[in-house]
Amino acid sequence: MNLLLGALTLGFILSLVGLGVWVSFRIFKVADITVDGSLTFGAAITAALVVVHGVNPLAATLAGMLGGMLAGTVTGLLQTRFRIDPLLSGILVMTALYSVNLRVMGRSNVPFLGKPSLQTWCEELGRSLLGAPTVDLFGWPVAAGDLAVVILAGLAALLVGAVLWWFFRTDLGTAMRASGDNAQMIRALGADVERYRILGLALSNGLVALGGSLLAQYQGFADAQMGIGMVVWGLASVIIGEALTGAPSLGFSIVGTVMGSVFFRELVAIALGFGLNPNDLKLVTAAFVFAALVLPSLLGRGRVQEVRP
């Protein structure tokens, strides 16, 4: 049970990464690999500020998110002002961020080691609200702190999802969606497509960095390697979400991404419980995304043949 609860928390936190990837992958139709760097960037900034400089965890988390937005802005500038291929732009910024992250942290791993973080705040809040160190959840003893963390992580995912849903229904957000759907059309209607792309990638990587910052606080350390393969995680969340909901609308697409992230995390927890080697996790994830990308068209072709007499 604790394992599944942990996976749920992780799923909620990483759904922010999923939503960030959803913005770049589904709105702008690019696989933005900046994510691998900006996730660590958010974590590194928060860890360095909290551990080294003793900054308030909430302010440090926001600073991490702003860092991600800055990284996204740079990628956006490379793609638009300098006309560099979107994939290459992401690779350049991700690579540059690796050094930047080491600079920010001063070493490759920064543990929080009992310093106040959002994680410790949540645990304290849970203990004081519930008045006991453990609670009984459907017959399982669960730490009150863990329960508070999972609820607040869920609320964070809900809040971010709601904000995205609102944003992409405003005049600005609608125009941003159009700039990914038909750039020629929205340019003819007076939108500066390049500016929207920069703004969108800043938003995307801001969310990813927020996810990275929360992840570091949850696991208790920031690490220079923690971002590796995260864009594929995000893609997996988006794709599972679409399979789960059918993504008929914007709202379903957003909810689906959160569900996809949680669902995948639970699957991984169960697989690890059954003895999957953690070292194989990224291979399995990549294979899974490959299958999810290819299978629908294969199945679709099969179905067309079946329908014909």
Partner 1 sequence: MSASAEAAPAGAAADAMVRVRGARKTFNVGTPEEVRPMQGIDLDIPAGQFVIVLGGNGSGKSTLLNGLAGTFRLDEGTIEIDGRDVTRWPEHRRAALVGRVFQNPFSGTAPMMTIAENFSLAAKRGRSRGLGWALSSSFRDELRDRVRGLRMGLEDRIDTAIGALSGGQRQALTLLMATWIEPRLLLLDEHTAALDPKSADQVIALTDEIVSSRRLTTLMVTHAMQQAVNLGDRILMMHRGNVLHDVSGPTKRRLRVDDLLARFEDVRRRELLDEGAAALLARAYV
- Taking the least distance from each CB to partner 1, the nearer of 23 and 230 is 23
Query: Binding of partner 1 at residue 244 (CB under 8 A)?
Result: no
Q: Which one of 165, 167, 221, 252 is in contact with partner 1 (CB under 8 A)?
A: 167
- 247: alpha, beta or left, given left = phi > 0 and alpha = psi -120 to 50? left
- Taking the least distance from each CB to partner 1, the nearer of 171 and 306 is 171
Report CA Rg, the chain: 20
Distances (CA, A) of 172 to 1, 162, 169, 191: 43, 16, 8, 9
Query: Binding of partner 1 at residue 137 (CB under 8 A)?
Result: no
Residue 130 C-beta: closest distance to partner 1, Å? 38
- Taking the least distance from each CB to partner 1, the nearer of 250 and 267 is 250
d(CA 177, CA 286): 27
- Taking the least distance from each CB to partner 1, the nearer of 29 and 282 is 29
Site for partner 1 in 180-209 (CB under 8 A): 181-182, 184-193
- Taking the least distance from each CB to partner 1, the nearer of 182 and 277 is 182
Query: Binding of partner 1 at residue 83 (CB under 8 A)?
Result: no
d(CA 274, CA 271): 5
Q: Which residues have CB under 8 Å from 222's CB, separation 6+? A: 40, 43, 44, 46, 47, 48, 105, 109, 110, 216
Nearest to 70 by CA among 31, 96, 52: 96
Query: Binding of partner 1 at residue 251 (CB under 8 A)?
Result: no
Query: Binding of partner 1 at residue 165 (CB under 8 A)?
Result: no
Residues at the contact surface with partner 1, assessed by CB under 8 A: 167, 169-175, 177-178, 181-182, 184-193
